[in-house]
A and B are shown apart, each in its own frame.
Chain A
Amino acid sequence: MSAQKDRARTLLAAALGVSPGAIKDGAGVKDFEQWDSLGHMRLVAAIEAEAGMILSAEQILALASFEDVVNILSRTGAE
């Protein structure tokens, strides 16, 4: 899980244009001005590339925190 969290942290940080260290456990969409519609789009694209699949609208809507990114990477089996 630690590797998964590190990967999620890296993906989310890149999508938002912040340093990985800025992504704390428990961080959510309201904690980052950069987590806007384009940031969300970059995040979805990064997860899709990592997982090799297209996310459903339900999965896209469920992404609202760092933990959500960890969970979706775990569920899609992305490594």
Chain B
Amino acid sequence: MTWQPGHPVRLETERFELRSLTEADATERYLGWLRDPEVMRYVNARREETTRDELRAFILRHDNRNNFLLGIFARPGGVHIGNLSAECHPIHRSAKLGVLIGDRSYWGRRAVLEARSALLDFLFGAAAMEKAWGPCYAHNVPALFNYRMLGFSVEGVQRAHVVCDGARMDVVNFALFRGDWLARRAAGGK
């Protein structure tokens, strides 16, 4: 793909278009996800009171240089179903990943696997990252499953690091290196 730092990113998969969010994507639909306790259960933020202006400001903080916030849009139709994020460290060339599938009808449909694969291709390709990593609440079963299915390894566990459902919970840190991802792709892995 052709991409210049600071310019919007656009990626395509079989079922989705992934593109950098803009102010216009700060919709009621998106705000609704932030008010859905099931969607936000394992997210490190409580945004029930987020206003549309605050959401616009949040989107604009992503510069498409080191911070990416890509919407996942179903094809065809362009319905916004969730987001992927990546915070890239330009010196260490590592990218911290995040994901939110707000449209519950897409849960359990391998949307994260498909979309994150495209993001990893971008991060290890055009964005020249060497490592992708992500924290995961220890009982966030879908997230554990998705990291493992994409070949991520457990790097460590932060004990009782967060509060979830009223109790302290471990956070598992996953990581994937560029060489491992490229080898997986070369072997036909998704």
Chain A residues with a Cβ under 8 A of chain B: 29, 36-41, 44, 54, 56-58, 60-61, 64
- Write the residues of chain B forming the contact surface with A, with a CB cutoff of 8 angstroms: 107-110, 112, 136, 138-139, 141-146, 148-149, 154, 157, 170, 172
A37 B138 Cβ-Cβ under 8 A? no
Known: A57-B157, A57-B172. A36 touches B109 (CB 8 A): yes
- How distant is the Cα of A62 from the Cα of B55 in the complex, in angstroms? 38
Q: Verify A37–B139 contact, CB threshold 8 A.
A: no
Bound-state CA distance A1–B144 (Å) is 29
B108 touching A39 by the CB < 8 A rule? yes
Return B25 CB to nearest CB of chain A, in Å.
24
Q: Which of B112, B136, B142 contacts A40 (CB 8 A)?
A: B142
What 10 pairs between A and B have smallest CB-CB spacing?
A38-B108, A37-B142, A57-B138, A40-B145, A41-B141, A37-B145, A57-B172, A36-B108, A44-B141, A60-B144
Q: CA A40 – CA B144 in complex, angstroms?
A: 10
* From B108, B109, B138, contact of A56 by CB (8 A): B138
Using known A-B contacts A37-B107, A37-B112, A39-B108, determine if residue A61 contacts B148 with beta carbons closer than 8 Å.
yes
Q: How far is the CB of A76 from chain B (nearest CB, A)?
A: 16
Which residue of chain A is the closest to B157 with respect to CB atoms? A57
**Inter-subunit contact B172/A37 (CB<8 Å):** no
Q: For B136, list chain A residues within 8 Å (CB).
A: 57
B144 contacts A57, C-beta separation under 8 Å: yes
B141, A60: Cβ atoms closer than 8 Å: yes
